[in-house]
């Protein structure tokens, strides 16, 4: 089974809740509970994000092979591939993907030799907590990318202008 793209078009179902569209940012929601998966997906879509959903870690791994994501929000206790196992695969593949672990019980990441994700949300969490975590993790990811690559409007001064012989 593969991840399912929930958003029907490039436009969100309604006006973004955040006040600023995030249509460039694509999120993968990985959750085996259909009700939680649907709620998380819908709140993110209504906030202006592009969202795909996967019902377990195996489907999420397939989606990660086929698509680029800016963020993954995953449960841990799932059939086939757990959230921790999925994070291990991502780290082993050297994918630069921020992760939010949204789970009922906090796994001991060090026990699995896995780096802990950027944020862990313990269930039950509110939509506000989810959206705040998403915004903070995406902002941190953008900031770290700007340290590596200059902003688009950044101009490189020609070498001849910088060096005088």
User: Would you say 97 and 73 are in contact if contact means Cβ atoms under 8 Å apart?
Assistant: no
pLDDT at 8 over 60: no
* pLDDT band, residue 29 (cuts 50/70/90): very high
pLDDT at 64 over 60: yes
**Does domain 19-162 fall into CATH 3.40.50.2300?**
yes
* pLDDT band, residue 105 (cuts 50/70/90): confident
Three-class secondary structure assignment of the chain: CCCEECCCCCCCCCCCCCCCCCCCCEEEEECCCHHHHHHHHHHHHHCCCEEEEECCHHHHHHHHHHCCCCEEEECCCCCCCCHHHHHHHHHHCCCCCCEEEEECCCCCHHHHCCCCCCEEEECCCCHHHHHHHHHHHHHHHHHHHHHHCCCCCCCCCCHHHHCCC
Nearest Cα to Cα of residue 28 among 68, 58, 1: 68
User: Would you say 32 and 64 are in contact if contact means Cβ atoms under 8 Å apart?
Assistant: no
Question: Higher-confidence residue: 156 or 95?
Answer: 95
pLDDT at 61 over 90: yes
- Of 3-12, 21-30, 146-155, highest mean pLDDT: 21-30
Q: How far is CA 54 from CA 48, 99, 119, in A?
A: 19, 14, 20
φ, ψ for residue 30 (rounded to 5)? -120, 115
pTM flag (> 0.85) = no
């Amino acid at each position: 089974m593969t991840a399912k793209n929930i958003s029907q078009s490039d436009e969100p179902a309604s006006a973004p809740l955040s006040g600023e569209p995030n249509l460039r940012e694509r999120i993968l929601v990985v959750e085996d509970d259909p009700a939680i998966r649907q709620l998380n997906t819908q709140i993110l879509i209504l906030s202006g994000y592009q969202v795909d959903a996967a019902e377990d870690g195996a489907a999420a791994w397939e989606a990660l092979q086929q698509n680029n994501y800016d963020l993954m929000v995953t449960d841990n206790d799932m059939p086939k591939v757990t959230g921790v196992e999925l994070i291990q695969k991502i780290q082993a593949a050297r994918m630069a993907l921020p992760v939010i672990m949204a789970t009922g019980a906090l796994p001991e990441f060090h026990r699995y030799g896995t780096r802990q994700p950027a944020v862990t949300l313990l269930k039950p969490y509110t939509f506000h907590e989810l959206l705040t975590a998403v915004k903070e993790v995406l902002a941190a990811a953008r900031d770290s990318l700007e340290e590596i690559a200059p902003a688009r409007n950044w101009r490189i001064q020609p070498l001849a202008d910088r060096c005088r012989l």
